[in-house]
Chain A
Amino acid sequence: EAQVTQNPRYLITVTGKKLTVTCSQNMNHEYMSWYRQDPGLGLRQIYYSMNVEVTDKGDVPEGYKVSRKEKRNFPLILESPSPNQTSLYFCASGDGPPPLHFGNGTRLTVT
């Protein structure tokens, strides 16, 4: 089954404790991206990747890192999480932008 898999689905952490949210797709897509969704706002792009070893900033990249060492994986790294990064995060993929396939989301709470 074609899918984008994110883990974990829920995460509660404390300020400053490094964390990684994993994202994997099994469709051999070149394009992958990360979004965050906050109440009253649409999804906002954090980072995207057009291919392996190619990543670029989206609208709201501050406080986040990504890597694309393999085509299928695109982890999101928060080196020092802060409460304003409490949000619902989505990973997405596609043959190119815009993405057509999304993961089921990771709800992150930073206290």
Chain B
Amino acid sequence: DQQVKQNSPSLSVQEGRISILNCDYTNSMFDYFLWYKKYPAEGPTFLISISSIKDKNEDGRFTVFLNKSAKHLSLHIVPSQPGDSAVYFCAASDNSNYQLIWGAGTKLIIKP
């Protein structure tokens, strides 16, 4: 049973528009969430994170929103740029262990 789900395998967005990537989780013990970005033939790169005590965290063009009651988080990228085309992974952890549980990823394609 997947504890972290990214239900959209891919997403296509026009350059300059907003990209919204979604992630759902089932384990209410998760208290820290991260987004990673991955280009082909490279390892994941940390993008942005959020603690469960917050509902929003911003870093430049990237904003992560957390809705604990819905067990849902989303990553907003605005404006979307061609270099944002990559696979985005959502991951979650709880402070009782050191494991990071990953979603399957969403491939974001930015169209010119």
Contacts and interface: CB of A to CB of B under 8 A. Distances in A.
Interface of A: 4, 31, 40-45, 48, 50, 56, 58-59, 90, 92, 97-105
Interface in B14-53: 32, 34, 41-46
Contact of B89 (A40, A43, A48): A43
Contacts of A50: 98
B78 interface: no
B43 A103 contact: yes
Contacts of B105: 42
B101 interface: yes
A40 B100 contact: no
B99 A45 contact: yes
A42 B93 contact: no
B91 A105 contact: no
A42 B103 contact: yes
Contacts of B46: 100-101
A90 B43 contact: yes
Given A97-B98, A98-B93, A42 B104 contact: yes
Contacts of B4: 42
A97 B93 CA distance: 9
A18 to B, nearest CB: 25
Contact of B32 (A56, A92, A98, A99): A98
Nearest to B90: A42
B55 to A, nearest CB: 20
Contacts of B98: 31, 48, 50, 56, 97-98
B42 A105 contact: yes
Contact of A104 (B43, B89, B101, B104): B43
Contacts of B89: 42-43
